[in-house]
Each structure stands twice: as C-alpha cells, then as structure tokens.
Amino acid sequence: MGKAKEKQEEVPYAESHLYKIRHSAAHVMAQAVIEMFPNGKVAIGPPIEDGFYYDFELPRALTPDDLDKIEKRMRKIIKGKYAFERQELSADKAREVFADQPYKIELIEGLESGGYDEYGEKIEEAPVISIYKHDTFEDLCRGPHVENTGEINPSAVKLLNVAGAYWRGDEKNTMLQRIYGTAWESVEELEAYLERLKEAQERDHRTLGRELDLFSFSQDVGPGLALWHPNGGRIRAQIEEYWSQRHREGGYERVYTPHIGKANLWQTSGHLNWYKDGMYAPLTIEEQEYYIKPMNCPFHIAIFKSQMHSYRDLPMRFAEFGTVYRYERSGTLHGLMRVRGFTQDDAHLFCTLEQMPEEILGVLEFSLSILRDFGFQEFDIELSVRDPKNPGKYAGQDSDWKMAEAALISAIEKLGLSYRRVEGEAVFYGPKIDIKVHDALNRTWQITTIQFDFWLPEAFEMEFVGQDGEPHQPYMVHRALLGSMERFFGVLIEHYKGAFPVWLAPVQAELIPIADRHFDYAYDALAKLKAAGLRAEVDDSGDRMGNKIRKAQGQKVPYMLVIGDREIEEGAVSLRLRSGEDLGATSVDDFIAMAQEAVKSKAQV
C-alpha cells in the first residue's frame, strides 16, 4: 500500500459561501419572527450541517401555518437586498442595544468575562464583541455573513420544523422554540436535499425501532436508558457472538467488571479532574464514596495489577462488553444515538514500547475488518490531537504527545489510509484515531476509537518485569470498536432501513401455511430450520395468505416460505423474498443450505 496522505480540505465549511448563506438566512428568519412577535425574545441562531436554526421565546407555540408565514416574510426581506453591516462595540454599549433581550444580555456577560461565546461555547478569553445589522434587525454575532440579503436564493430556503430546546441545553433553564431551516445556492440542491431528508426520515431508527419492536424507552425507567426488546435482543446476541468469536481469534481475553468503583479510583485515573461533569453524583457506602462508572479502563488496569507480569506475558489484550453511565443533558438525548447508559465493546491493550507500533497497526486492521463484515465499506479516518492553544487541558509531557501521535500516524501510513488531522479533539490522556463509517445515504457516523495512553499506566503505577529483570511501565491502548452497542445498533437500523442481512435478522424465515390443514407440515419444517440453527417462526394466525406475506414483509423478514397443498405434495416450500421476488418451489433442505450460506457470507437479501 502507498503512503498515507493527510486529507486536505479545499474550503472548511465554516469558511464557505454556503455557510455564510445559511448564517445570513438564520438572521433573516429571526427578523421575520420578531416582526410577527414584536415582544419575542431571541437566543442563538447558528448554521449547522445542511442548514441552520434559531431559538426563540415566544408568547405561543408555533404552528405549521406560522412557518409558511415566516417563509413569506423571509422572501420579502431577501428581495430587499439589505446589507449586513458589522460593528464592534463595548460590553456596556452592547447591553444598551439588547436591553430588552435577556438571552443576549447573558451572552454579552459571558463574552465580557471570557466564559461563553454567542453560541454558548466555552471560550478561554474574552473576544471582540460585535453585532451584525441588516434592515431593522441586529444581532450579537461574530459572523461571517454574505454582503447583503440578495445573495440568498429565496427559492432555495425552506423552514423544516419546530422543536423544543432548553436554553444552553440545560433542562433547568427555559424551554425555547427552535426553528430549523435549510438554505442552498440553487433550487435543485434544495430539492435533492429534501429528498435525502425524506429518505433519512424513513430510515429513522426511532420509528423503525417501534415498528419492528426492537427497543423502547420508558419514563418510569428514565430518559436515555434503553430497553432492548426480544427482537432487538436477538440481533444484539448475534453481534455479541460474532464479536466474541473474532476477539478470541484476535488474541483477546474476555473480562467482566463492576458498575461502580471507589472515588479514589476515579481520582487516580484523572476522571474526577477532567471528566467530572460527565459523571453522576457519588454513592455513599459504609462512609466511602463510590461512583457509577463512566469508563471501563480503571477496572482493566486493576485486573492487570492483580499480579506481577513478565515481558513474556505481553502484549495482553482485555476486552469487555462493559455498561457505563454518563451524564447527558435531557435536551441532547436522541434515541439510541445519545443515551445515558450504554454498553461499550471496550478493549485495553498492554504492551512494551517496542510492541506498541505493531499493536496499534493490528487493532486498526482488526477494526476495519469487523466494520466491513457489518456492511460498511467506506471510511473517514481522523487523527485527533491536542489543542496547541490549551496545553493545560491535557496530561503528560510534550515529548509523550509527540511520540504517541507519531505511533498512530505510522499505523495509518502502513495501511495507506488517508486521514484528517483534528486539533483539540484528543482525550486528556492521549491522541486518538477515530473511524467514521459511511452509511447507505453516505452519511458519516463516528464508530471506532483507538486511543494511545501514556498517562494511566503512570498514574496507576503499572509495572511489568523486563528482560533485564527490572520493573518497567507498560504502554496502553484504549479501543472501542463498535463504540457502544446502543449507538451502533441505531446506525445499523438506519443503514439497512431495518432490513438486516440474514445473519442479523431477528427472524430469518417466516413459514406461512395457507390453511389450517397445512400447519403440521409447517411445524415439521420449522423444527428442521431450528435444528439447522436458523431463526424461524410459523404464522398460524387466521389471516389470509396475502396478509401474512405483507405482515412478514413489513417486519423485514428475509425469507417467506409459503406452504399449501402443492408444496406438501412435492415435499417443498414456495420461497419468497422480502423484496417481493418469488423464487418458486424449493425443498426444505435446499432452502436451509441457501440460508446457511447467506448467514456464513453475511449476505444482504
């Protein structure tokens, strides 16, 4: 393979003309809303991927008719070709300008003190305070914008929906109304986007999760805590079985760890210093504080330290399906994609410095191989490194970081993969490789993380006996291959639109007897399928055959085996696919062989 190349982006999105169009469209939308509701309060309105939004506190809930009216007002404003004028001003002057806008006042105070910028993002020092004005509307804003509203194509702007959003994502704050919109340079681009959006909505894992009875959430249990139903559990079991087999073959040892650990464990690991905001309040047990675990790594370290190891024992690879709990604000929860309790397919590798390059290379190859078996063929690789402007956010010495980054880059280069360097996204204890997969709609999803760690082995005083008979500190790699079972499952649902490949499908074959007299034959065939390791069911309801077929298709069952008088006479079944294709009569044995091959090859039917 050729040498890896760092990806060169032509123009970052935040500097593109399209970004400026969307940012400007958000301001135009805010003007239109305030014209409709003069006493309304405005919060923030940034561009986002594929569009923009703006948050408002309004006297009543918005309706779809309101969105139509806002769009019409926006078109009038756009046609006015009003210039976007920037002005820098003092904090006191900014407070005068926005005297009747409490959210802007709070943002100004954040800017003045070096706390938060106008988008609610943490900043290290107070930036210049600026406003942008067009026509009658002015907003606290750092820009950038187009020259004037006429640069926005009024026919390529569409308001999409209204959602609730807590101010700054905190459920303790006021619930605002967030209007989402999109803007493009041409009508054709807008129409193509709306078509993609329609397809994405049809693939929404939350909707399909209900329709296919895969999972649910319960207010009695608590937000962000997923309940896996039997159908979802079957798929999860297949994922875990395959995962376990591959990890055994890859030289990993399976371990299991508790859900809580003493406070000093998290103090030593650094989580209480660098990650406390993501952890839940401690429990007190026999006058000692315990924390519900947000990570598995300290426990794997404890297993390593339970006995002295020789260099001959290394590398050691521990793997676990470990359930962790992290605090996420309720406003950020999103189906399975963002939850409060989730199971990581976590692994930690302990090795010598000399073994480190080979271990990182091996885990990168291993990860890509497994992701391909789940049907993902295109990947984006990101190398996440320190923010050079904020060295105090990270543990360790500068030399450690340079060595760690070099080791990760070396693995990427040996596989000839292109990658993008991302500053400021490293974890506090080391740089990392992130693997993003492309789904069926060419959307990217962050899945795998491979993290170099020189901090925890030192913090926990880990040692092994080297060839020289002296104690040495091992090196450590953190790796979450699937990321989390919950999020990975959500991605799989959307990638396959619920029509899972045969090896993952909760029900692989539905036997459909046409009449009651065909039941005995159907159940005899069912016994054969189950004995062959296939997941199959008999629909013995009183529905007509056509309804049974449609029901099985609606449940995305790969194979439907119709049984009537002729099939019994021929000792066969009539095979249909969920696509609607009729493959005709086949023997039960031949079907079993075909299905087993589809499972083995992980084929999509």
Name 357's bridge partners. Answer: none
Active site residue 530: no
**Whose CA is closest to 135, among 30, 22, 16?**
30
Question: CA geometry: angle at 393 spanning 391 and 395, to 5°?
Answer: 85
Catalytic position from the list 139, 203, 297, 345: 297
Report yes or no: 477 and 319 within 8 Å, Cβ to Cβ. no
Write b or e for each residue in 108-132: b if 16 or more Cβ atoms lie within 10 A of its Cβ, otherwise e.
bebbeeeebbbebeeeeeeeebbbb
H or E element at residue 291:
strand 288-292
Sign of CA dihedral 166, 446, 202, 70: positive
Going by their DSSP bridges, the two strands 157-166 and 51-57 should be labelled as unpaired
**91's tokens:** 């904090």
**522's tokens:** 């159907």
Catalytic position from the list 41, 168, 178, 348: 348
Active site residue 348: yes
C-alpha 20: how far from chain center: 27
Catalytic position from the list 41, 178, 478, 495: 478
Question: CA geometry: angle at 451 spanning 255 and 430, to 5°?
Answer: 125
Report the distance separating Cα 24 and Cα 11, nearest Å: 19
From its phi and psi, is residue 498 left (phi > 0), alpha (psi between -120 and 50) or beta?
left
**193's tokens:** 């986007």
Catalytic position from the list 432, 495, 518, 576: 432
Active site residue 344: yes
Catalytic position from the list 31, 101, 177, 344: 344
Catalytic position from the list 104, 326, 386, 578: 326
Going by their DSSP bridges, the two strands 41-42 and 51-57 should be labelled as antiparallel
Catalytic position from the list 55, 66, 139, 346: 346
Report the distance separating Cα 126 and Cα 123, nearest Å: 7
Active site residue 346: yes
Report the distance separating Cα 446 and Cα 490, nearest Å: 12
Active site residue 478: yes
Report the distance separating Cα 507 and Cα 322, nearest Å: 27
> Catalytic positions, please?
297, 326, 344, 346, 348, 432, 478
